[in-house]
Amino acid sequence: MKKTILVVGGSGTVGAEIIRQLKAQGHVVRATTGKKSDSKEKVEVNLLTGEGLKQAFEGIDRAFFLSPAGYANQYQVLSPLIQEAKRRGLEKVVLMTAMGANAGDTPMRRAEIELEKSGLTYNILRPNWFLQNFNTFWVQGIREQGKILVPGGTAKVSFIDTRDVSAVAARLLVSDELKNRDFDLTGPEAVDHDQVASALSEVSGKRITYSDVQPEPFKQGLLQAGLPEDYSDFLLLIFGFLRQGYAANVNNNVREIIGRSPIGVQKYAAENKQAWL
């Protein structure tokens, strides 16, 4: 049955692919945007003030929520969305947080608990670090210096391709077979940043290495790039967990949900090789 589905963060890497997949299945999709829009498929919403929220939810059956990058207090963004979904009696909500969000009293965990206790049918997705960070957030250092410049230490990470995250979300948005469950999402293997650099070098023909940046210079770079200080501190915090090995776990959840293995580092690198030239 055709559904009308709201996708928060529809212009982002994950959200845009969710929208593409849902439309291909014949569903009606509405996305939130932080910019003015005359399109019926996009509704301007201020996630901090809630302006535009009621219009975004009009006629919606199901919804996908995430907290866009740049917000350290993700609960402030997510809670009003969950509350509005509850008021509307939505059929289902899929919430994306991040792997490790349930390890303590974090803003993301508070949002997860609110959804779990809302009475709504739900799924919670906690993806690991995205492979796509290497062709977006960390790409400048690779292009200009031939270096991955992050404070990752020597720890291994089961990086996940955002296309797999989107495929999982799109599947769960239209199916209730796995309802009221949470899933950590990982790639098929755990690799360190030196191994990622080697894969990028191999496909691009460019010598790319990994440089383990110290936390304070890394933070200064984030601030110079325009990121808020509280969000820069949040990134340093989760890099600290990464360095301690908490992002190395590999599981089979992607295959369980969408019926195929997740995309690995080599395939991702081969399909994005122009990004690092």
| pLDDT of 218 | 95
Whether 40 has a pLDDT exceeding 80, the answer reads no
Percent of the chain scored above 70 by pLDDT? Answer: 100
Torsion of CA 236, 241, 242, 246, to 10 degrees: -160
pLDDT (tens digit per residue) in 95-113: 999 999 998 889 999 999 9
Question: Which residue type does 33 have?
Answer: T
Beta bridge partners of 123: 94, 181
pLDDT (tens digit per residue) in 124-177: 999 999 999 999 999 999 999 999 999 999 999 999 999 999 999 999 999 999
User: Which domains can be identified in the chain, with CATH numbers?
Assistant: 4-126+161-185+249-262 (3.40.50.720)
Backbone angles phi, psi at 32, to 5 degrees: -85, 150
Whether 56 has a pLDDT exceeding 80, the answer reads yes
pLDDT (tens digit per residue) in 215-256: 999 999 999 989 999 999 999 999 999 999 999 999 999 999
